[in-house]
């Protein structure tokens, strides 16, 4: 794990899992942009979900459904690989069987993937929910950064990362996310906005002593100032803000207000403990964010 953290800033291999969604172009565009910036290879992966067939299917129908899914996977991964190759990138593709999130994580380990770029929603109905849950499971378990991109049927405009919002709660995960975000920011000479949100639901702030509120603000200043200083050391413009409210709502509103291109945050905050559960704030932001979210364990 320690070695992985040391290496994670250099994205050499990017993985794009796909379910064949027509809106996946946004995911591919972000993967291709980062691959260009880092000189990385792009891998496309489609997972044929075993045991997902409707109950009561005959053996012949089951075989036909399986073959149809494999064919869909081949077509989807070929499209991604060809799109990457047209941009002069090295590309690879694979169709596997299994449970999607497990197969994705196995592929990450086997191919030394440095960044996973995934859509946050599938096609429609059950597929929409399925991809969302697959992405969240990958986020919860991945040892490498994950870039979550909202799928859209709208044409994808030029991808850029000119303004990056870096929320922090002072945790180790937030620090690692900030470090990774600053590496991306340096590639794009981006402005960095370090943000700390005081959550009034954690404390009854109306009745809390001023000393408690003061400690929270001071902790926020310390955490955001540290990120801003790291950004300036890299020659980047930076700013800090202390917000108050429900963290996910405040962060999304703030990102919209500064016209951010990317949010970068840790998967586990201080309140989550030592378990491998994704922080509730991160989960809410990933589900609702119209801009990509880079998460780091």
Q: What is the pLDDT of residue 52?
A: 57
Residues 14 and 69 in one domain: yes
Q: What is the pLDDT of residue 125?
A: 44
Q: Which residue has the higher pLDDT, 70 or 279?
A: 70
Residues 222 and 263 in one domain: yes
Domain-located, residue 277: yes
* CATH code for the domain in which residue 85 is found: 3.40.50.620
CA 7, 150, 19, 134 dihedral sign is: positive
Please name the residue that has the structure tokens 């440095």: 114
Residues 179 and 291 in one domain: yes
Output the pTM of the full model.
Answer: 0.87
Residues 119 and 217 in one domain: no
Domain-located, residue 231: yes
Q: What is the mean pLDDT of the chain?
A: 85
The stretch 59-79 carries a mean pLDDT of 83
Q: What is the largest CA-CA distance in the chain?
A: 71
Domain-located, residue 154: no
With beta carbons less than 8 A apart as the criterion, state whether 42 and 81 touch: yes
With beta carbons less than 8 A apart as the criterion, state whether 37 and 188 touch: yes
Give the chain's domain count: 2
Domain-located, residue 278: yes
Of 111, 110, 134, the residue nearest 42 (C-alpha): 111
Q: Are strands 293-296 and 146-149 parallel, antiparallel or unpaired?
A: antiparallel
Q: Which residue has the higher pLDDT, 34 or 56?
A: 34
Of 139, 121, 145, the residue nearest 40 (C-alpha): 145
The tokens describing 97, both together, are 């069987």
Provide the pLDDT confidence category of residue 276 given band limits of 50, 70 and 90.
very low
Instruction: Report percent pLDDT > 70 for the chain.
Output: 82
Give the Cα separation of 238 and 256 in Å (integer). 17
Residues 19 and 86 in one domain: yes
Domain that holds residue 109: 2-149
- Under DSSP, is residue 88 helix (H, G, I), strand (E, B) or coil? coil
Give the Cα separation of 51 and 98 in Å (integer). 8
Asked which of 19-28, 50-59, 84-93, 176-185 is least confident by mean pLDDT, the reply is 50-59
Give the Cα separation of 224 and 161 in Å (integer). 20
Domain-located, residue 183: yes
């Amino acid at each position: 794990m320690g070695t992985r953290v040391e290496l994670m800033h250099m994205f050499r291999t990017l993985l794009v899992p796909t379910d064949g969604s027509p809106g996946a172009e946004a995911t591919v565009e972000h993967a291709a942009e980062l691959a260009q910036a880092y000189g990385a290879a792009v891998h496309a992966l489609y997972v044929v979900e075993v045991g997902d067939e409707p109950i009561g299917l005959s053996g012949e129908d089951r075989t036909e459904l399986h073959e149809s899914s494999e064919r869909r996977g081949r077509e989807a991964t070929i499209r991604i690989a060809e799109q990457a190759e047209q941009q002069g990138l090295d590309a690879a593709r694979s169709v596997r069987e299994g449970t999607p999130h497990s197969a994705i994580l196995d592929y990450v380990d086997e191919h030394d993937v440095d960044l996973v770029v995934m859509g946050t929603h599938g096609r429609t109905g059950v597929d929409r929910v399925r991809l969302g849950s697959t992405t969240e499971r990958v986020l919860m378990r991945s040892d490498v950064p994950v870039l979550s991109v909202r799928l859209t049927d709208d044409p994808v405009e030029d991808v850029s990362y000119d303004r990056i919002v870096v929320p922090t709660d002072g945790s180790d995960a937030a620090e690692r996310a900030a470090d990774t975000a600053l590496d991306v920011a340096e590639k794009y000479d981006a402005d960095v906005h370090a943000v700390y949100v005081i959550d009034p639901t954690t404390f009854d702030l109306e009745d809390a002593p001023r000393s408690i509120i003061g400690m929270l603000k001071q902790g926020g200043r310390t955490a955001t100032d540290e990120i801003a200083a790291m950004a300036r050391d890299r020659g980047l413009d930076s700013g800090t803000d202390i917000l108050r409210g429900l963290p996910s709502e405040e962060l999304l509103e703030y990102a919209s207000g500064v016209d951010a291109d990317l949010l970068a945050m840790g998967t586990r905050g201080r309140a989550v403990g030592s378990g491998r559960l994704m922080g509730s704030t991160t989960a809410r932001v990933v589900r609702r964010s119209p801009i990509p979210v880079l998460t780091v364990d």
